[in-house]
Structure formats: structure tokens, C-alpha cells
Amino acid sequence: MTTLASHTPSVRLAEGWALTGTITLAVLAASALVHVAAGGGTDGFRAAIRLTARTSLVLFLMSFAASSLARLAPSPLTRWMIRNRRYLGVSFAMSHVIHAAAIIALVRADAALFWQLSTIGSVVTGSTTYLVIALMAATSFDAAVRWIGPRAWRSLHWWGAWYIWVSFVFTNGKRVPMSLWYLVPVALLGLAVALRWMASRRMA
Ligand code: HEM
């Protein structure tokens, strides 16, 4: 049903591909802001890397837990999440593209500092996760779903989501010895799994 509200610009920006555009621009603007606030240079790039790791996590969790939340707690918000699950997923990929751009800027500004923060192992595992994210984003269009078929699509997106989940647990978990605050994202990732489990039990 078409309502007056569905015509307002703010509502249009929060739905579909426009939502992906809005979120991408917001993450880009926030990254530029933290870069400047940190004094620019390598500190600025590091601030943008950390910010985009966090925005990516929030966007990933929203699409990862959307259907479970809609089943367990139906509300306008959870219905919006499920309706826009694909667009939140692609927004997550865009946020991670900005993570990559800030990493490349850091490498170009100070490669030695980058290698103090990373290992060959973390670059290989991180790049593999990027490959999974790229495959999922590239198949987030109706034409791609038709092309690979619904079975392959479901399988790719199911395994891909879990692969990304493990990557987030690992990348946050390994930082817990540096700061206990990293337990917050790890707990949120655990909560998302608990929600999926509770939703699947309710279905059974
Ligand atoms: C080749 C790929 C990647 C590279 C080279 C890379 C590099 C980095 C670097 C250098 C930092 C530290 C920034 C700092 O402390 O100043 C960082 C932070 C982080 N990255 Fe990435 N990253 C990659 C991919 C990923 C992926 C795929 C994920 C998750 C799915 C991820 C999640 C994180 C997280 C959670 C942080 C910590 C953010 C925080 O401090 O809150 N990264 N990354």
C-alpha cells in the first residue's frame, strides 16, 4: 500500500539501494571525520581502519540476525531489517571496501608501521575473507541469483556469512589481550548466534 510517508525523502533514503547509498556515504563521511580528528596522516588512516571495522560489524550483524529477530520479535524495525537485509549486506561490503581503502592508504604512507600491525598470516586470511565478501556482494542482484541458481546462492550466502562471522570473532578476539573492550564485539557475535538458534527452535 502506498502511504504519504513512503513518499517522503527520508523514508526513500532508508529503503533498498538508496539505503546502501546513504550508509556508504555516511561511513565515508565518518571516516573522513575521524581521519581529520586524529590529526591526519598514519594516525588518521588507523582511526578510519578501526572505525570501518566497527561499522562493518554492526552492518554485518544486522543482516546476519535480521530474519531471527523478525521471527522472535516482530516489529516495524525488525520488518524493516528483513526487508532491507540484502541492502544492509551490500552496505557491509561497502564499509569493508572503505576499510581496505584506509589500509592501502596506511601502507602507502608507512609500510613499516603497517607490518608492525599485521602479519603475512593476517593479510592472507583477511584477503580470503575479502574474496568471500566480494562473491557475496556480486551475487546480491536478482540477475546473479537467477544465473547461479537459488541452491548455489543459498549455499554461498550461508557458508559465506558463517565465514565472515568467524573472521570477526578472530579479528576482535585476538585483540582482547590489548583491551577488554574487544569482548563487546565478541559478545555481540555470540548473541547473534544465540538469536539464530532460538529462532530455529521456535520454527521446529
Ligand atoms: C587483507 C585484509 C586486511 C588487512 C590488511 C587488515 C588490516 C587491519 C589493520 C592494520 C588493523 C589495525 C588498525 C590499528 O589498530 O591501527 C585492522 C583492524 C581491524 N580489522 Fe582489518 N584488515 C583486513 C581485513 C579485515 C577483515 C576481513 C575483517 C573482518 C571481517 C577485519 C576486521 C578488523 C577488526 C575487527 C579490526 C579492529 C578494529 C578495532 O580496533 O576496533 N579486517 N585491520
What pLDDT digit, counting tens, does each position of 40-73 carry? 999 999 999 999 999 999 999 999 999 999 999 9
Helices (H), 73-182: 76-83, 85-109, 111-117, 120-138, 142-148, 150-173
Question: Which of the listed residues 98, 117, 171 should we mutate to test ligand 1's pocket, taking the one with most ligand atoms within 8 A of CB?
Answer: 171
State yes or no: pLDDT of 2 exceeds 90. no
Report which protein residue has its CA nearest ligand 1's atom 13: 46
Rounded to an integer, the average pLDDT of 85-99 is: 98
Distance CA 79, CA 11 (A): 14
Cut 0.85: pTM above it? yes
119 lines ligand 1 (CB under 6 A): no
Going 75 to 63 to 185 to 14, the CA torsion angle's sign is negative
How many whole angstroms from 52 Cα to the centroid of ligand 1? Answer: 9
pLDDT at residue number 111: 98
Kindly tell me if the per-residue pLDDT of 27 is higher than 90. Answer: yes
* In the chain, where the domains are located: 9-203
What is the identity of the amino acid at 142? Answer: D
- What pLDDT does 1 receive? 41
pLDDT at 203: 76
C-beta of residue 84 within 8 angstroms of C-beta of residue 16 = yes
pLDDT class of 7 with cuts at 50, 70, 90: low
What does the alpha-carbon distance between residue 133 and residue 118 come to, in Å, rounded to a whole number?
Answer: 20
Q: Which residue, by CA, sits nearest to atom 20 of ligand 1?
A: 53
6 has a pLDDT exceeding 70: no
Q: Is residue 95 in contact with ligand 1, taking CB distance under 6 Å? A: no
Q: How many CB atoms lie within 10 A of CB 134?
A: 13
Atom 42 (ligand 1) nearest CA: 126
pLDDT in tens, 154-199: 999 999 999 999 999 999 999 999 999 999 999 999 999 999 999 9
